[in-house]
């Protein structure tokens, strides 16, 4: 059954002129990165308001750093076959953009270049007080030792990763480019996201309203299933390499 749908997806991708991809935490699940919602999601364990709201962080950064222990980009987290298949489809000139809500940098590590990070990146951090920039990897040893990073320039303990906290605006340039890509796209492939968080969750309907088609790849049902032309139930790390095989 899914085999037939995989074939159909490959045909839709081949036919499309400007296929774009929208990803969420589910594409990184098989790399060992936890998702946010669902039975074992991060939001069952942490209060988003305390852990990742900008007001909360300014008041007290400690709850964020507790949360970061689970979110940590551990050194052994690697791109999985799903990320790699998408990078390969970009190299073949097929996929034009990856719009992602993920902050884990795994698309880029898999080799994708046209990536729009709408919720920022955990790859860098900025001191909220003096604006000094840090590489996340330089903070990891401090965090792993259970400490809160302190700015070596101004001694503030408010070094915030460049991810979008609740209460912050999305990176406006990336958002604008994502909107334009969604408008232009005649096929959006939506992978591993519950489509629960706006404005990103509006992007599939932007493509649809402009006459494009939509594919949903997820282990489960989503919140906007009625929008999609094709729904494939399965793991991104298993289905995407199958789709690639039919195209390559
Ligand atoms: P969610 O945790 O809401 O959804 C993850 C989706 O991935 C679910 O629909 C799962 O069914 C699906 N899934 C899990 N494993 C999968 C697999 N192996 N293959 C395919 N699908 C799989 O994560 P997001 O939709 O990314 O924002 O959440 C959006 C935003 O909510 C996040 O960026 C974060 C959070 O609050 C901020 O922190 C600003």
Are 45 and 141 contained in the same domain?
yes
Residue nearest to atom 23 of ligand 1 (CA): 25
pLDDT in tens, 1-47: 689 999 999 999 999 999 999 999 999 999 988 898 888 888 888 88
Burial class of 225 by CB neighbour count within 10 A (0 to 12, 13 to 18, 19+): exposed
pLDDT in tens, 110-125: 999 999 999 999 999 9
Instruction: Provide the whole-model pTM.
Output: 0.95
Q: Which of 96, 119, 158, 235 is catalytic?
A: 119
Are 187 and 87 contained in the same domain?
yes
Q: What CATH number does the domain containing 14 carry? A: 3.40.50.1220
Rg over alpha carbons for the chain, rounded to the nearest Å, is 18
Q: What CATH number does the domain containing 66 carry? A: 3.30.1600.10
Question: What is the average per-residue pLDDT within 78-87?
Answer: 97
Q: Token match 């965090």: residue?
A: 143
Are 147 and 223 contained in the same domain?
no
Question: Which domain range does residue 55 map to?
Answer: 34-74+120-163
Are 147 and 231 contained in the same domain?
no
Are 38 and 100 contained in the same domain?
no
CA terminus-to-terminus distance, the chain: 22
Are 208 and 234 contained in the same domain?
yes
Percent of residues, the chain, with pLDDT higher than 90: 79
Residue of 161, 178, 219, 239 best suited for mutating to test ligand 1, as the one with most atoms within 8 Å of CB:
219
């Amino acid at each position: 059954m899914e085999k037939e749908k995989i074939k159909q997806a490959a045909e839709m991708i081949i036919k499309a002129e400007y296929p774009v991809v929208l990803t969420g935490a589910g594409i990184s699940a098989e790399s060992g990165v936890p998702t946010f919602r669902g039975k074992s999601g991060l939001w069952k364990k942490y209060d988003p308001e305390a852990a990742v709201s900008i007001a909360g962080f300014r008041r007290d950064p400690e709850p964020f750093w507790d949360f970061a222990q689970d979110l940590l980009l551990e050194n052994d987290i690697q791109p999985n076959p799903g990320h790699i298949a998408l990078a390969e489809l970009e190299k073949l000139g097929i996929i034009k953009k990856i719009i992602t809500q993920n902050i884990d940098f795994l698309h880029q590590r898999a080799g994708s270049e046209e990536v729009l990070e709408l919720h920022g990146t955990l790859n860098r951090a900025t001191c909220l007080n003096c604006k000094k920039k840090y590489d996340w990897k330089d903070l990891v040893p401090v965090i792993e030792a259970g400490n809160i990073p302190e700015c070596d320039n101004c001694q503030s303990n408010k070094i915030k990763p460049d991810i979008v906290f609740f209460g912050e605006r999305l990176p406006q340039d990336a958002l604008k480019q994502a909107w334009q890509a969604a408008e232009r796209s005649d096929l959006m492939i939506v992978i591993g996201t519950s489509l629960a968080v706006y404005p990103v969750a509006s992007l599939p309907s932007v493509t649809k309203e402009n006459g494009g088609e939509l594919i949903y790849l997820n282990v489960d049902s989503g919140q906007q299933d009625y929008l999609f032309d094709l729904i494939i139930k399965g793991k991104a790390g298993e289905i995407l390499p199958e789709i690639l095989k039919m195209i390559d």
